[in-house]
Structure 1
Amino acid sequence: MNGRLIGLLTVLVLVNFVVDSAITAPLVVLPEMLDHFGTDQAAWLNATAMLAGVMWAPLLGKSADLHGRRKVLVLTLLLSCAGALLCAVAPGLWLFVPGRMLQGASLAAIFLSVAIVRGAFPSRTAMIAVGVVTSGSAVLNIASRFLIEDLASKYGFQVLFLVSASVAVVMAGCVHRFVPESPARTPGRIDFGGALLLGAGLGGVLGYISLGSDFGWLAVGPLALLAVGVTASARWFLVSSRKPDPLIDIRDLRGPLALLLLVVFLASGSYQSMLQLIPLIGDVSADQRLGYGLADQGSVALLLAAPGLGVTLGGPTAGWLAGRVGPARTLAAAVVLGTAVTLGMFLGVSRLPAALCCAFLLGATVGALGTSGFNMAGSLAPPERQGIVSSLVMVMVSIGSVALNFVGAAVLASTSVAVDGETVNSATGVLAYIGIASGTFALAAVLAVLLARDTKVRN
């Protein structure tokens, strides 16, 4: 591998660091944001970017196939920069929420980076490079948490968004300067009407899932979002099935690709829900006699850092394996590992060594699953359609994450107990939470094995 390709990988790893600064890093300062805006609606501040990212992904993926991946990646980073600046200066939610929606465009940087790598590297090397690009920023993400927490305590939460905007605009310049433009092009045009319908459909349904737990599942606002989402999705399906050049051709969503997307949806939702559970059990002491808890057994900071280290190892390892046994088999192995690790958390909820092991392996699963999913999608798509097909993987990751996170939260809320006047999660709720994640992972494992067999037969 020559210096130019190493430089390309470095730039794309840093590009994916922008995604973390825009999507997940604001969780570090979530309490400060809630106090500043005088609200208890965390979903508006946190989930908006992820939901908007689901809407941005197909549009930017299709645009990349039509107009060039580098050009659209630069646009994506500039949109994220503009959103971060709006969030930094927003006097109220009326400007902060649109800012978060613009930041959501940064999700497209992940699959655009993957598409650029697959076009720049030979096939076997590209599989390893995908793992490096999708997982290499994990260590930077861990270190940045401590820095952002310190800066926010001194200068306010707005500093996070100023840092995010600065990193995004610098990386936009680096991408324009150092990343070659892809020669592959897909003839056609962008179906903006279909993009609006698809965005409204996904946003409405996911918005209902995200906000229903805060406002009430039968409240007028969430139900209106659900109605808009279902109506728009149905309309998009009917219209797209008739157009000659739709945003997403649903006629292609069959066979191995459809099975891959279902596996990604189930597995991503499962591991994200488990990552959400880890800090909850790490904040409870066994002395409270709730039947779980790790807070008094050692350094819980290691428990929170372990997944990041696992991601860094899991991504490149999965890329290396994919080059030897194929992405389908590697994907199946990653999902089977995730199933075993999730089952291990039945023991890990009360024993720190087991929890540390499971947290690390869960991170490895995250890295391996993301790398294998993108590699598998890339192997199923021609060069001129890498952008849109990779965007579908990102959409499934996002939808699965939102859906299973809120399912898990609803289970915990419905089984909570009162101890000394304080509402806490019960052992029943925690174990049921793990059971749902394990069952979903097991279903994904069965489908992943079927996908691997189907791919072997086709080859």
Structure 2
Amino acid sequence: MPNGSIGSAPTSAATSTSAGTGTDTGAGPLGGEQHTRWNRRLIGQVAILILVNTMVDTVVTAPLLVLPEMLDHFGTDQSAWIDASSLLAGAMWAPLLGKSADIHGKRRVLVATLITALAGALVCLVAPNLWVFIFGRLLQGAAVGAVFLTVALIRDMCAPDMAMVVTGVVTSGSALLSIVMPALFEFTAAEFGWRSVFVASAIFAAIAAVLVHRLVPQSTVRTPGKVDIAGAVLLGGGLAAVLSYVSLGSEFGWFTVGPLALLVGGAAALARWFLVASRIPEPVIDIRNLGRPLVLTLLVVVFGTGAYQSMLTLFGLIAKVSADQDLGYGLAAPGALGLLYGVPAIGIVFGGTLAGVLSTRVGPAVALAGGVAIGTVGTVGMFLGDSVLPLAVVCSFLLSLTAGTLVTSGFNMAATLAPPERQGVVSSMVMVMVATGAVILKFVGSAVLKSTNTVVDGETVNSALGVHSYIAMATSAFLAAAVVAVLLLRTRRHRARTSALES
């Protein structure tokens, strides 16, 4: 896109998007104009939104870098609660935040989300015991909602085609900072202790909240109505409880009282929410009007992002095993972890940005399908790459392209299927699918590895059969995503032909 002075399109006559055709005929106005090209003001706003997403990284991933120190401090070995709490909380917060954003304004809710994450970081900072700390992590989990709120804001800030490109830049831009952030956090933790991670998270949240409030415009698009608090609690709490069972059951026992209570309670909450949402006029998510294209899009996201996240976990496992151990796999070598995790950061940025540009040319459905195809190739390549570092790096790069493409195209596709006044809700649904796919596929992969463990020299290790079965599982998920993506493309083409004939 060319640079220039402020490029804007008048939106006083903006109209709603047709959910049936997915044709974007307007977007939410921001002070009567929208960006149509890159300019100084837009670049500044994009930088702020990338900062917001960087703050999310400090909530989700940074604490894992100091996990051993935190476990020692609280005198516990229950790492699963610390690992999963923020992502699960994000799934819980998302429906409420999405609906609230459509009713009360996206910027206002984003600022409130950042303040909640700030409060959560401060609670974690001073927590006297593990359960208070976990409560702080649940508050911090609201930050996960910041990701989809930035996307919803972009749809209001920019004209439709420009919004697709900017979405790619914002959703993937923070990945570049992830190259240096682990080393930075490890240094600060070594010098100042594990609490420094939460100090940094609080500072990021505070700065981001101030900048968003002062420099990001407020949308004038509103959905008349009220937030169904009871429905949001049922849906968010039910999702969090069921995903908690999936995530934590292997550590605490699938049939022990605690995990079973989570499963039963979560299933009951979701069932109750479904019944209520089918009857009331203003549910958190209107399941009666989701539409086939949106459902197919969400399925592609849950399968595709879940497969990618599970493969990311596998890279971390096999990178610590040397091929000299003769296990049939192993990538341990000087700099292996840096290559496997550093190169993907570049791939995510490239994939997200490219997906945004392609979406304006061929449509987000095609870009989404392309991301699935690339991910399938990268995963299949790991059948050989699990013991060949150069090939593994190539596969890692392909999978990172997939990650950037799927998230960007998923948001863009969902956005074209909803009118401006429902952008918050549909964006939150994409975010829930990302979290759901990550939790479920990681669990399935972990179960596959544990069921095929072998004992070598008195030590229990992952077997080659387990690693290859894990890769096969991820491949199957990508193939499922591919089938759904084909159905989505056919649905879109059929509706386009029907619309052309009717006109």
Normalising by the residue count of structure 2, what TM-score does the alignment of the two structures yield?
0.90
Residue 447 of structure 1 is matched in structure 2 by 484
- Among candidates 195, 204, 222, match of residue 167 of structure 1: 204
Is 1:124 the equivalent of 2:157?
no
The structure whose Rg is larger is: 2
Q: Distance in 2 between matches of 1:297 and 1:438?
A: 28
Deviation string 1:396-434 (CA, Å, 9 cap, x unpaired) is 000110011111111111111122222211111110000
2:459 maps to amino acid: E
Q: Distance in 2 between matches of 1:247 and 1:284?
A: 47
Aligned residues of 1:55 and 1:202 also touching (Cα < 8 A)? yes
Question: Could you list the runs of 4 or more consecutive aligned residues of structure 1 that deviate by over 2 angstroms after TM superposition?
Answer: 296-300
Q: Distance in 2 between matches of 1:209 and 1:298?
A: 33
Residue 346 of structure 2 is matched in structure 1 by 309
Residue 19 of structure 1 is matched in structure 2 by 56
Q: Distance in 1 between matches of 2:222 and 2:250?
A: 43
Aligned residues of 1:200 and 1:228 also touching (Cα < 8 A)? no
Is 1:184 the equivalent of 2:192?
no
Cα displacement (A) at 1:299? 3.5
- Among candidates 249, 257, 271, match of residue 212 of structure 1: 249
2:100 maps to amino acid: S
Which residues in structure 2 correspond to 1:25-40 (within 5 Å)?
A: 25-40=62-77
Q: Give the stretch that moved more between structures: 330-339 or 300-309.
A: 300-309
- Among candidates 443, 447, 454, match of residue 410 of structure 1: 447
2:125 maps to amino acid: A
1:399 maps to amino acid: T
Deviation string 1:37-90 (CA, Å, 9 cap, x unpaired) is 111111111101110100100100100000100000000111111101111111
- Among candidates 62, 70, 79, match of residue 99 of structure 2: 62
Is 1:365 the equivalent of 2:415?
no
Q: Distance in 2 between matches of 1:419 and 1:276?
A: 22
Aligned residues of 2:374 and 2:401 also touching (Cα < 8 A)? no
Aligned residues of 2:351 and 2:402 also touching (Cα < 8 A)? yes
Aligned residues of 1:286 and 1:296 also touching (Cα < 8 A)? no
Cα displacement (A) at 1:181? 0.2
Deviation string 1:192-244 (CA, Å, 9 cap, x unpaired) is 11011112211111111111011111111100110101111111111110001
Normalising by the residue count of structure 1, what TM-score does the alignment of the two structures yield?
0.99
- Among candidates 84, 98, 109, match of residue 47 of structure 1: 84
Q: RMSD in angstroms over aligned alpha carbons?
A: 1.0
Q: Distance in 2 between matches of 1:73 and 1:433?
A: 38
Q: Distance in 2 between matches of 1:167 and 1:280?
A: 31
- Among candidates 415, 422, 442, match of residue 385 of structure 1: 422
Structure 2 residue matching 1:291: 3-state secondary structure:
coil
2:442 maps to amino acid: N
Q: Distance in 2 between matches of 1:299 and 1:94?
A: 36
Cα displacement (A) at 1:254? 3.0
Residue 83 of structure 1 is matched in structure 2 by 120
Is 1:153 the equivalent of 2:193?
no
2:159 maps to amino acid: P
- Among candidates 256, 265, 273, match of residue 236 of structure 1: 273
Cα displacement (A) at 1:297? 6.9
Structure 2 residue matching 1:132: 3-state secondary structure:
helix
1:76 maps to amino acid: T
Q: Distance in 2 between matches of 1:443 and 1:199?
A: 26
Aligned residues of 1:341 and 1:361 also touching (Cα < 8 A)? yes
Residue 4 of structure 1 is matched in structure 2 by 41
1:230 maps to amino acid: A
Larger fraction in helix: 1
Q: Give the stretch that moved more between structures: 248-257 or 47-56.
A: 248-257
1:164 maps to amino acid: S
